[in-house]
Amino acid sequence: MRPVRIDVTDDASVASAAELVGREYGRLDVLVNNAGMLNRKHATEVSADDLRLEFETNVFGLIRVVHAMLPLLRKSPAARIVNVSSDSAMFAKATEEGSMFARSHDSFAYSATKSAVNMLTVKYANAFLDDPELAHVKINAVTPGYVATDLNGFKGERTTDEGARAAVYWATVGDDGETGGFFDDSGRLPW
């Protein structure tokens, strides 16, 4: 096992990665979609072009990678997809009075992209369940919480190890595990 670096905005990079995995391993057991970008800009200043930039990485990149890897995931007896989302995608937190997410106007596009990631997770899960060749694939969205990373200037309260817990759990969940949900390391979250 080894990580493969992919430019999720580049079709050739994604295709090359899929070809490499197929050639070396013949299948893909776990796909963690963790690519993400945040262009800090106040909500009132965000243009359609600004939104396109973040959607290209955070949403279209995810779709591009899942699409390219599906033939390899079909071959795995217990394939798992984990889509890394964000607390900022939760409508419950975005509408909660006094919540940092209700007033985080500079993550306008990012929050929208991560909400899209959550919806895509549900739609993929339902499509997989209806396809006999993909019904074994579990796909879930996770939030790592407020992790200290360069995305937030290392202001987060959680370590990267703490932030990785939910992703690792859902990447290794058993055949009886859920699919199409949104979770942190404490359990299911509201959308």
* List 41, 93, 114, 138, catalytic entry: 114
Q: Which segments of 4-108 are extended strands (E)?
A: 30-33, 80-84
Query: β-pairing, 30-33 with 182-184?
Result: unpaired
Nearest to 121 by CA among 167, 158, 186: 167
Q: Is 110 a catalytic residue?
A: yes
Our answer to whether residue 41 is catalytic in this structure is no
Q: How far apart are the first and last CA of the chain?
A: 33
Q: Could you say which of 93, 110, 124, 138 is catalytic?
A: 110
Backbone angles phi, psi at 129, to 5 degrees: -60, -30
CA-atom Rg of the chain in angstroms: 17
Catalytic residues: 110, 114
